[in-house]
Amino acid sequence: MEAVRTMLADKSADAIIIPSNDCHFGEYVPDYFKVRGWLSGFDGSAGTLVVTTEKAALWTDSRYFIQAARQLEGSGIELMKLKVAGTPSVAGWLHSLNVSKVIVDGDLFSRQEFLSLTRALAPAALEAVDDPFREIWKDRPALVCRTIVEMPENISGRSIADKCGAVAGKLGCKGRFAYIISACDEIMWLCNIRGEDIEYNPVALSYCVMTEECVHLFCHLDCLAPQARASLESQKVKLHEYASFRDFLRGIDASVTRICQSSSINVNNWSAAFANVPAGEEESHFMEDPTPGGSVAWLRSRKNPVELAGFRNAFINDGIAWVKLLKFIDENLASGKLNEYLIARKLIEFRSECPDYLGESFEPIVAWNANAASAHYSVTCEADAATVKPYGFLLMDTGAHYPYGTTDTTRTLMLSDRNDFTGRSDRLLQQMRDDYTLVLKGMIDLAMAIFPSGTRGSQLDILARGPMYPTGKMYYHGTSHGIGHHLCVHEAPQIRMEESPLVIDEGMVLSDEPAVYIEGQYGIRTENVITVVPFAENSYGRFLKFDTMTLVPIDMRPVNFKLLTHKEEQWLYRYNEHVYNTLKPYLSKQEAAWLWRRTTV
């Protein structure tokens, strides 16, 4: 902290604001960028640290209040609880300290964030500087860069040139342009490559500039697998070293129109891109990406038939592993030896039996009873894991990467359908069954939805949430997220309460995951992955519906069928029948027999 204050003095600054993200604004942050965690000791995924010449404070949200209080103890850093009455904003706090100059690492703030922070801090000045921790952070972890491989066209379904043509069409720019892309997953999609630089996300640290003539890819060239290099070169992608990106930006000719999303370019790169433009004329050489959420994200979210076929394959692989796991749990539950960690490992073991399995698509969640009431609970070692006893609910939310698709499935098991287990009254047991049924009802209602083209996620959300509302319960996360094609498991668009202009369109692959969490008792979430397919086209326009991709049986034993309509009940029976028929050819006789029993009542 002393070194930070010396640095502040060197730069004649009164304060520095340190966010949680990296320079690409991805979901997971490489250790190299975890400055906030290193400086404060607080290692939660979300938090903003502000250090002034005399004070320091850290803002985080309710998920982390307890952890942050513990980790900040004795550090002299004040904990600022977001969305709690009386907590000042970062700008408000800095105003109260009468600061006159604030700095940030311009790599870690988007152009958009930087502008809004500038307004909030005025009259204090905000300045973006080059990474101010390069000198200070002595034992900083290295930037990891691993092999970059090609995603061949028989898996991606579309050539780079074809994708670039589609992007250019969305941008609608005439004349010379430079479309600057900073999001690594967008670059992987555009260039038909995959990396492994970020945990769970098969992306390489990279930048990209698409012009009217060609694509410039900036990555660690040493990491390019020979085949990937050959393929990129044969498709006329110009390869550059990752570190040369900013110099390239500085060299862009004044006459070129710079296009990007202000929300995804970091402010240092933004400045570099306008190096050749006279000061004050930036706006007339700039065009905001005209597609809400970004043109590449828009195109990527509508999967092509080859990608969709890959997803279907991935869900068969995953279904087989899940059936083995569910059978394993069934047969070993009484032993008293199952715990949350072991179950997560066991699923990875079963998945690994498929030679195509590449790894988990996110940190597996296996949570028993009260542990499942925290939506993002996960155990990383056996010592922390709860033993799974034969009562209550076991929630499992896990996903995998295959070369041709990514999966994400949640199942909640009611571990006993007897009503005599410890501490559970008949009334509570009935509530558990009803909650299980209403979550399932919401999942089914969204899956059965038929809707006109142009419908947005926020319009569909209530189909999944609505069934639970009459019990006076709700969940605080989204209902659905887009899923990458062997890419990030979370991508646009979303189905949630918050409004977004993105529409739910043909070819999209989305989760469907309503839930309920009863603090201190249990959590229930049932998640399938659905894809958008045509339903009808007539004088009223085009209608769409969902088709379910996930192939994991849904436990019908806890269902209170009185709460389901005839159509919902029919959907459930047919779904389980479909799971059985599709997976049977890949299962042993014993596994198939087990699945038959589980999918019929």
- Residues with Cβ < 8 Å from 211, sequence gap 6 or more? 176, 177, 178, 179, 256
Q: Is 292 in the site for its own copies (CB under 8 A)?
A: no
Q: Is 366 in the site for its own copies (CB under 8 A)?
A: no
Q: Is 458 in the site for its own copies (CB under 8 A)?
A: yes
Q: Is 288 in the site for its own copies (CB under 8 A)?
A: no
**484 to 513: interface string for its own copies, x by CB under 8 A:** -------------x-x--------------
Q: Is 462 in the site for its own copies (CB under 8 A)?
A: yes
What is the C-alpha to C-alpha distance for residues 458 and 478, in angstroms, rounded to an integer?
Answer: 10
Q: Looking at beta carbons only, is 225 or 536 nearer to its own copies?
A: 536
**Window of 124-132, 221-229, 470-478, 582-590 that interacts with its own copies by CB under 8 A:** 470-478
Q: Which of 161, 225, 275, 450 binds its own copies (CB under 8 A)?
A: 450
Q: 363 and 376 in contact (C-beta within 8 Å)?
A: no
**Window of 134-142, 153-161, 174-182, 533-541 that interacts with its own copies by CB under 8 A:** 533-541
Residue 123: cis peptide before it, omega within 30 degrees of 0: yes
**Window of 244-252, 255-263, 291-299, 444-452 that interacts with its own copies by CB under 8 A:** 444-452
Q: Which of 48, 535, 569, 591 binds its own copies (CB under 8 A)?
A: 535
CB atoms within 10 A of CB 140: 15
Q: How far is the CB of 348 from its own copies (least distance, A)?
A: 35
Q: 216 and 236 in contact (C-beta within 8 Å)?
A: no
Q: Is 456 in the site for its own copies (CB under 8 A)?
A: yes
Q: What is the number of residues in the chain? A: 601
C-alpha separations of 122 from 68, 96, 99, 431, 578 in Å: 29, 13, 10, 53, 61
Total residues interacting with its own copies, rule: CB under 8 A: 31
Q: How far is the CB of 562 from its own copies (least distance, A)?
A: 9
Residue 68 half-sphere exposure, CB side, CA atoms within 13 Å? 24
Q: Is 561 in the site for its own copies (CB under 8 A)?
A: no
Q: Is 452 in the site for its own copies (CB under 8 A)?
A: yes
Q: How far is the CB of 174 from its own copies (least distance, A)?
A: 18
Q: Which of 102, 460, 549, 583 binds its own copies (CB under 8 A)?
A: 460
SS3 561: helix
Q: How far is the CB of 474 from its own copies (least distance, A)?
A: 5
Strand ranges (DSSP E) for 447-597?
450-452, 480-482, 491-495, 509-512, 515-518, 522-525, 528-538, 541-548
Q: How far is the CB of 546 from its own copies (least distance, A)?
A: 12
- The structure tokens listed for 398 are 């896990």
What is the C-alpha to C-alpha distance for residues 483 and 75, in angstroms, rounded to an integer?
Answer: 40
Q: How far is the CB of 286 from its own copies (least distance, A)?
A: 18
Q: Which of 78, 469, 588, 597 binds its own copies (CB under 8 A)?
A: 469
Q: 64 and 44 in contact (C-beta within 8 Å)?
A: yes
Buried b (16+ CB within 10 A) or exposed e, 561-595: eebbeeebbebbeebbeebbeebeeebeeebbebb
SS (H, E, C) 337-352: CCEHHHHHHHHHHHHH
Q: Which residues of this chain interact with its own copies, rule CB under 8 A?
A: 449-452, 454-456, 458-463, 466, 469-470, 472-474, 497, 499, 519, 535-536, 538-541, 543, 565-566
